[in-house]
Amino acid sequence: MSTLEPDPPPAGEHIHLPGPSLQPIGVALGITLVLVGVTLGLFMVVCGLVLTLWVIIRWTADTRREMRALPEDLGDH
């Protein structure tokens, strides 16, 4: 093993993956509403922006909550 490669994780160490979520779909829908609203009207643009910002804020809050729930010693080696 070269010195440039990181050490493999210890046996039995768990890798954290986020759970399934509809939030990426919500962001995509919001952005789509904004883009369609550019041709159809300002109301749709505003609705798309509100939806996109709301989903991003919720997504960030959920991610922070998940990160706080992780064990403290996860990054220590």
- Answering whether pTM is above 0.75, one says no
pLDDT digits (tens, 9 = 90+) for 12-62: 666 777 788 999 999 999 999 999 999 999 999 999 999 999 999 999 999
Which of these, 18, 32, 21, 28, lies nearest to 58 by C-alpha position? 21
- Domain edges within the chain: 23-63
Instruction: Compute and round to an integer the Cα radius of gyration of the chain.
Output: 20
Task: Give the 3-state DSSP-derived string for the chain, with helices as H, strands as E and coil as C.
Answer: CCCCCCCCCCCCCCCCCCCCCCHHHHHHHHHHHHHHHHHHCHHHHHHHHHHHHHHHHHHHHHHHHHHHHCCHHHHCC
- Confidence (pLDDT) at 60: 94
- Confidence (pLDDT) at 66: 87
